[in-house]
Structure 1
């Protein structure tokens, strides 16, 4: 399982810890972004696969062009009411073509590849971006969405806003008095729990916010074991709201292998925002990094 498996849950409903951080995840889109553009004869009919890309389409004021989205496209709330084409890795050519799209806007995480090729063969223009778990990924998504919707000017304006937000985020990052706290990211959306290693969006977020992964020496995700978790001794545990809900609540979540024997459990230091907010690498990335950094900086390890 990888980052894409994290993004199929609902919209932001608050963190899993008391204290008020992560409130930025509930910020409403600007009124301009929420207003759907009037359909025109030249506006391409668009299927968007990828929650962050769909969010960007709304930001560009091009919601009226959407004829379908995937199951990760849940923000803003209006995106939940769009026709769904299924999970981004399990697309169906027949279902997509039934919506008569001119353009499929997606990332390199979409598939299977045979379906993408079938769409191209049927005359659908496929615009795909690459994932890299950084600001450049967000910039590529904005450019691609501007191209797909023919709203390049709006995309350029959003790029400027993103860079301004990113600069403010960099300036607002708190200075850590001690060593970077050790964080453990847990993926547990109903299947066997897993933990994040190198090359994942979760680890990238930890680094961007000034933390360090408590687990080293492997790439991607691997099965969560009590021995590895106890040995890692994380100061903080990061997960998603969807994972905590799937576990049956915060108390049940702490009973996952080894967690109850960690410093993080002793202090009940758990954060669990919405998966798309945390790992979507969309236009809200600067705000997500800032608030994650503030949470990290508030730990005893960071203040030492």
Structure 2
């Protein structure tokens, strides 16, 4: 992920105040996970709400402050860092209209759609214009920033959306995309469905004081990137949704991602580590991950409680977020 890779170069090592943890090495009573596991989302593909008939034209206020009029949604390009916008468009029932996507929009229905993000997560103006799009949906999580301006200069309507990814923000994100594409009724139907799935998923997580201590580590071995999540990472919201304590936030990290240090891990004493599947593969699996200084001495490391989640699922906060929460809760408490 381009933004996360860049964080490795600019973030300072988080201080942890030299606190010595006395956390037990056994699991909380509710935690049944006993070793490595993969949290698999049941619905690997999207399920559209049904056939839709867009009502156009519409004029919306883009997240960058511009007023944008959309008159045609026959050829949609949807691109952001996590694949959220593409997932929303497909689930709203307009998947057949998508002619360009980012590399994170990885569910089966989108596999045939051309990728317009060169090098993984960089927009390519020429590749997008070659697709003759009638509207481009994007946000500031992906760049370079001059590309959307080039598209607007060429006469293509470009609508920016809020780049923040939180569980609470999912309904508003769906509504914003639906409004832009002239399918507000479908948007409300999708919000109702997603809200129901989130509520059902959260019921799987136990409540009480004995919450498991969980951390999300973003690792890319080939690039030498090893980051620990903190407040605002998105992972903190997912951890809370499954009844866990985000240890990065708990020990006082003040940035979404900071370089991993042995001091931080030993202070945090996570009982579970969540990683992205490709990230885990990049460091040589669980054994490679446990070579990170300090991790093997934590309860998570001692018991090899490493949970990997597909790269396109964990932080997208799209329409399948309830299914992702269900997958995590199932692994943690019903394995």
Structure possessing the higher radius of gyration over alpha carbons: 2
| TM-score computed with the length of structure 2 as normaliser | 0.74
Q: 3-state DSSP class of the match of 1:123?
A: coil
How do 1:214-225 residues align onto structure 2 when only pairs under 5 Å count? 214-215=247-248, 216-225=252-261
Match of residue 47, structure 1, among 53, 77, 86: 77
2:275 corresponding residue in structure 1: 239
2:289 corresponding residue in structure 1: 253
1:205 paired to 2:238 = yes
1:22 paired to 2:39 = yes
Q: How many Å separate the matches in 2 of 1:36 and 1:272?
A: 36
1:124 corresponding residue in structure 2: 156
Indicate how the Cα distance of structure 1 residues 26 and 167 shifts in structure 2: closer, same or farther if over 3 A, else same: closer
Structure 1 gap ranges (5+): 6-14, 300-304
Which structure's residues are more often helix, by fraction? 1
Is the CA contact 1:175–1:297 (under 8 Å) kept in the aligned structure 2? no
Q: Could you list the per-position Cα deviations for residues 8-66 of structure 1 after superposition, in whole angstroms to 9, with x for gaps in the alignment?
A: xxxxxxx99667x7343445444x569999xxx95431101031221222222212211
Q: How many Å separate the matches in 1 of 2:42 and 2:276?
A: 13
Q: How many Å separate the matches in 2 of 1:223 and 1:134?
A: 22
2:219 corresponding residue in structure 1: 188
Q: How many Å separate the matches in 2 of 1:261 and 1:173?
A: 26
Indicate how the Cα distance of structure 1 residues 74 and 43 shifts in structure 2: closer, same or farther if over 3 A, else same: same
Q: How many Å separate the matches in 2 of 1:272 and 1:101?
A: 36
Q: How many Å separate the matches in 1 of 2:195 and 2:156?
A: 32
Indicate how the Cα distance of structure 1 residues 16 and 111 shifts in structure 2: closer, same or farther if over 3 A, else same: farther
CA RMSD of aligned residues (A): 3.1
2:314 corresponding residue in structure 1: 278
Alpha-carbon offset, residue 290 of structure 1: 3.4
Q: Could you list the per-position Cα deviations for residues 243-301 of structure 1 after superposition, in whole angstroms to 9, with x for gaps in the alignment?
A: 111112222222222211111111111101112211110111122223334444569xx
Which structure's residues are more often strand, by fraction? 2
Relative contact order higher in (CA < 8 Å, ≥ 6 apart): 2
Q: Could you list the per-position Cα deviations for residues 51-91 of structure 1 after superposition, in whole angstroms to 9, with x for gaps in the alignment?
A: 1221222222212211111111111x131221111157521
Q: 3-state DSSP class of the match of 1:73?
A: coil
Q: How many Å separate the matches in 2 of 1:82 and 1:290?
A: 28
Alpha-carbon offset, residue 168 of structure 1: 2.1
1:166 paired to 2:183 = no
2:28 corresponding residue in structure 1: none
| TM-score computed with the length of structure 1 as normaliser | 0.81
Number of aligned pairs? 284
Structure 2 gap ranges (5+): 6-32, 54-70
Q: Could you list the per-position Cα deviations for residues 186-229 of structure 1 after superposition, in whole angstroms to 9, with x for gaps in the alignment?
A: 11123221111111111221122221122323212111122322
Indicate how the Cα distance of structure 1 residues 44 and 196 shifts in structure 2: closer, same or farther if over 3 A, else same: same
